[in-house]
């Protein structure tokens, strides 16, 4: 038996003459109204309801029709309401809960989707398969990217054209601190190099693009003034550049 949850109440999806219907008891329950509230509202406006359109009186002889929904028809018969009948009956219900329940009942209970045709089912399955494949492809791409990054870290691969500060110290003859000063002063591109230590630990170090570094270094040296065994440049202050003349 199908059920629909409205306002935290599980209602049996009762069908009569091919359409969803509700009983007076179901209306009282889902709207949290005292027993008999919906019945009284119907009796006050009985003449406004069209039999066979807004409401049906199911005879006791049709009890077997509602038995699959666990709904019993008493000897006097059972009054049920279609969507239009339900909306007419609950028209006086004007509290916040009533508005919410009415919306939920109309959208989730009365207005059932027609069963998909075989072609629609195949199309839906195909579309779902395409979405699944796209998600799998995206996951595979991410896995490949992560795997490549991990392998690069394991191998200690460095970006092309970049070197560590130890290398620029050797090439320029300046101290590590002055090399970093040059990088900052001339805005030379830098990056972070991740690699695995012999102990299997992840480590990081700063790296700098070599060609722009050397270009900036030679430009700076052409502008620097000798001060004894040292040099002076407005952007660098006093510094040493041991054997810089032979540095390429």
Tens digit of pLDDT for each residue in 203-242?
A: 888 999 999 999 999 999 999 999 988 999 999 999 999 8
- Rounded to 10 deg, the angle between the 165-172 and 176-185 helix axes is 100
| pLDDT tens, position by position, 151-195 | 665 555 678 899 999 999 999 999 999 999 999 999 999 998 887
46 and 100 assigned to the same domain? yes
10 and 102 assigned to the same domain? yes
CB atoms within 10 A of CB 25: 14
95 and 184 assigned to the same domain? no
51 and 89 assigned to the same domain? yes
The reported pLDDT for the residue numbered 233 is: 95
25 and 70 assigned to the same domain? yes
The reported pLDDT for the residue numbered 112 is: 67
Per-residue pLDDT at 145 exceeds 80: no
Helix/strand/coil for 160 = coil
85 and 130 assigned to the same domain? no
Per-residue pLDDT at 24 exceeds 90: yes
76 and 136 assigned to the same domain? no
The domain boundary residue, chosen from 123, 139, 155: 155
Per-residue pLDDT at 136 exceeds 90: no
141 and 174 assigned to the same domain? no
Mean pLDDT of 132-145: 82
Per-residue pLDDT at 5 exceeds 70: yes
Report the distance separating Cα 48 and Cα 35, nearest Å: 22
Report the distance separating Cα 82 and Cα 225, nearest Å: 97
The reported pLDDT for the residue numbered 235 is: 94
Sort 138 into a burial class: Cβ within 10 Å, 0-12 / 13-18 / 19+: exposed
38 and 97 assigned to the same domain? yes
For the chain, what is the mean pLDDT? 86
Domains in the chain, number: 3
- Which domain, by its residues, includes 33? 3-110
List phi, psi (to 5°) of 204.
-135, 150
Helix/strand/coil for 234 = coil
Higher pLDDT, 11 or 201: 11
Report the distance separating Cα 24 and Cα 81, nearest Å: 8
CB atoms within 10 A of CB 93: 17
| Contact of 199 with 153, CB cutoff 8 Å | no
Q: Which two tokens stand for residue 17?
A: 């003459």
| Contact of 57 with 49, CB cutoff 8 Å | no
166 and 143 assigned to the same domain? no
| pLDDT tens, position by position, 48-96 | 999 999 999 999 998 888 888 888 999 999 999 999 999 998 988 888 8
| pLDDT tens, position by position, 117-129 | 677 677 777 777 7
176 and 128 assigned to the same domain? no
104 and 21 assigned to the same domain? yes
Cβ neighbours of residue 229 closer than 8 Å, sequence gap 6 or more: 240
């Amino acid at each position: 038996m199908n059920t629909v949850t409205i306002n935290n109440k599980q209602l049996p999806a009762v069908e009569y003459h091919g359409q969803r219907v509700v009983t007076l008891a179901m209306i009282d329950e889902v709207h949290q109204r005292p027993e008999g509230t919906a019945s009284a509202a119907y009796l006050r406006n009985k003449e406004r309801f069209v039999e066979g359109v807004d409401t049906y009186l199911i005879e006791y002889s049709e009890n077997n029709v509602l038995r699959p929904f666990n709904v019993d028809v008493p000897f006097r018969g059972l009054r049920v309401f279609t969507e239009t009948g339900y909306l007419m009956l609950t028209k006086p219900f004007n509290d916040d809960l009533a508005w919410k329940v009415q919306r939920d009942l109309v959208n989730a209970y009365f207005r059932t989707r027609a069963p998909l045709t075989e072609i629609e089912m195949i199309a839906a399955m195909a579309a779902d398969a395409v979405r699944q494949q796209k998600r799998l492809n995206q996951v595979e791409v991410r896995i490949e990217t992560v795997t490549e990054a991990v392998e690069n870290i394991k191998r200690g691969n460095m970006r092309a054209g970049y070197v560590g500060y130890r290398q620029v110290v050797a090439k320029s003859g300046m101290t590590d601190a002055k090399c970093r000063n040059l990088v900052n002063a001339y805005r030379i591109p830098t990056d972070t190099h991740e690699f695995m230590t012999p102990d299997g630990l992840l480590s990081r170090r700063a790296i700098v693009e070599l060609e722009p570094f050397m270009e900036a270094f030679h430009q700076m040296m052409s502008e620097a003034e000798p001060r004894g065994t040292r040099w002076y440049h407005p952007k660098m202050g006093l510094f040493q550049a041991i054997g810089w003349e032979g540095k390429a």
